Amino acid sequence: MESVEIRKSLKQDTFEGVDFLDLDDLLTDEHKLIRTSIRDFVKKEISPYIEDWSQKAYFPTEIVKKFGDVGAFGPQIPEQYGGGGMDYISYGLIMQEIERGDSGMRSTASVQGSLVMYPIYKFGSEEQRNKYLPKLASGEMLGCFGLTEPDHGSNPSGMVTNFKDMGDHYLLNGAKMWISNSPQADIAVVWAKDESGRIHGLIVERGMEGFTTPETHGKWSLRASCTGELVFDNVKVPKENLLPNKSGLGAPLMCLDSARFGIAWGVIGAAMDCYESARKYAAERIQFGKPIAGFQLTQKKLSEMLTEITKAQLLAWKVGKMMNEGKAKTVHISMAKRNNVEMALNIAREARQIHGGMGITGEYPIMRHMMNLESVITYEGTHDIHLLILGQEITGIPAFK
């Protein structure tokens, strides 16, 4: 990546959390300890630089190793493979704190943990687990997840990426699009159809002939994360790189459940950051001889923000508890992802109004969060598709087929 001069912000990150209903009562001491360590990490390693990274569309490759050091990669993966061996609420809290810093930073971490490490752990061989997971956990390797294609987003079963059995190897052809981490990734977990049309996961390594990762430029969203394509032109993939323990569309969708759960928590962080910024700005900004915090409409906005954040926290915590107990279904995760992203986006928009013209500048985090959340509301299941997943559960009739 080309050399870019990054300016460190002089503004102090003084965030202490938003907890109106004393929901910390629902957390263990370990949960709170994990949250504090990641919050401190974000204040030191992300907050001072994120506005400049975002303005300059710069992905800080050095953050990958730092995420590994602080345990942000695969916290829910067992310790024997380098993961944290933590529960799903811990994972959620880690995503929340990172996304308060920036959604693009959270994307980097959640793709690594839920979309790369999780399928290798869940569907991979013991050899694959030992070969890749410790290096992914430590940040020595960065991974990406190839499911979405140029013509197949909400309908992944229509994918055309395919592989043929050539005897001693597989021959992979096709392309994937909108892939977080791809330009910098060392490996890609790629979903492709075999000759019978069955979907399988394959681990594709950088350096394999015919495998390229063109970067996507010109993004107005997630500007501090790297996004690109995966292109496979007669790529020879060793047979031992096939994930052996699950095939079919259900395999990548299980990975997406884990990642969407992380999003449901993560966006609460973005919402809290916008709310806190708006609350502080409203107390300091004087109009008509008094702080704008003293006006009814500003108080209405802040009251509704706090209420919605609190509801989202309860929803995320309950789904986290269900994840820990093995009771959470795709529909529960869809509800949490859809509700919480919409909540965060609405809060970003309201917070922008409280900040007035200052809300569109990099002096405050609002516009960056708002632009980021426009991607989050679409990726890993669009807003409408999650609505229809819930609709199918209610009625028994699939509306998206």
Catalytic residues: 380
Q: How far is CA 316 from the centre of its chain?
A: 15
Name the helix (H) or strand (E) containing 283: helix 250-284
Q: How far is CA 162 from the centre of its chain?
A: 27
In 206-303, DSSP assigns E strands to 211-212, 227-238, 286-287, 290-291
The set of long-range contacts for 52-57, using a CB threshold of 8 Å and a minimum separation of 24, is: 52/6, 52/7, 52/8, 52/9, 52/362, 53/6, 53/102, 53/223, 53/224, 54/102, 54/104, 54/223, 54/224, 54/362, 54/368, 55/223, 55/362, 56/4, 56/6, 57/217, 57/219, 57/223, 57/224
Question: Strand 286-287 relative to strand 227-238: parallel, antiparallel, unpaired?
Answer: unpaired
Q: Could you tell me if 125 and 119 are in contact, meaning their C-beta atoms sit under 8 angstroms apart?
A: no
Q: How far apart are CA 255 and CA 249, in angstroms?
A: 11
Q: Could you tell me if 229 and 214 are in contact, meaning their C-beta atoms sit under 8 angstroms apart?
A: yes
Q: How far apart are CA 362 and CA 53, in angstroms?
A: 11
